Amino acid sequence: MDDRGSGGGSFVAVRRISQGLDRSNTFQTSSAEVAAGSAAWLGRGLSCVCAQRREDDSRQSFDLTPAQEDCLMRLQNRLDIAYDSSIPEHQEALRALWEAAFPEEELHGLISEQWKEMGWQGKDPSTDFRGGGFISLENLLYFARSFPKSFQDLLRKQEGDRSMWEYPFAVAGVNITFMLIQMLDLEAVKPRTLVGATFLKFLSDNELAFDLLYCIAFKLMDHQWLAMRASYMDFNAVMKSTRHQLETELLEKYITRLEELPSYMLLTR
């Protein structure tokens, strides 16, 4: 599998002026801000969040049923697929994401300044997929199609008292994919954490469990962002809080389906 340890790259701060999507205020930070670390903190900081493990995790191993092994293999096959802008299926998925995000606005090309409106770092979103691969695009598209109201609320920052400096939606989404891959230990032959082993039980019942958990995680992250009154320099702390909450909920004994997670309710309210 590809090395996602350096995934995420740099991160574009988004200045928020008013409610709704203010497309004129998405921009890359100045050279002085880059020198101070404000434009590149996400890629570096999130790697630390995602890689954290308890000391005894490396000594654990959980046996899988044949069905769980099969489901894990299929999911790992998805993780192995890098985004390739020359593949028609990948091109169509990217166009579909735009149509789901901005149905009222025609896309002028797969390389276009318009993509910054969604929170990509530049005019070519393919450069931001290196940390999450094609599955990160599939996750965003699943979110847009399955929970369109929540997707639009997060895209347009329509809920809560927002920060002056907001996280860019699309790049944050790629990093959430990366965080979940690490949290669930999905690149291991067998899960080495109880959270990873527990997730495979959900995956064997629902092959789209990873995509659903992604939606829950994204909505939970934004909920934590608002609760913590966070700004872009706080994103690492928000991700730590989001991961901790997800792990806690997944390990609750009464949870038998992802739809029973308390954070799932954030998607449907």
User: In this structure, what DSSP letter does residue 145 have?
Assistant: H
Nearest-angstrom CA–CA distance, 154 and 166:
11
Nearest-angstrom CA–CA distance, 16 and 19:
8
- pLDDT tens sequence across 143-157: 999 999 999 999 998
Regarding pTM above 0.85, the answer is no
Q: Are 15 and 4 in contact (CB under 8 A)?
A: no
Weakest mean pLDDT among 37-41, 89-93, 227-231: 37-41
The two most distant CA atoms of the chain are separated, in Å, by: 54
Give the mean pLDDT of 121-142: 91
| Domain boundaries of the chain, sorted by first residue | 14-52+64-268
What does the chain come to in residues?
A: 269
- pLDDT tens sequence across 194-234: 999 999 999 999 999 999 999 999 999 999 999 999 988 89
Nearest-angstrom CA–CA distance, 102 and 205:
33
pLDDT at 109: 92
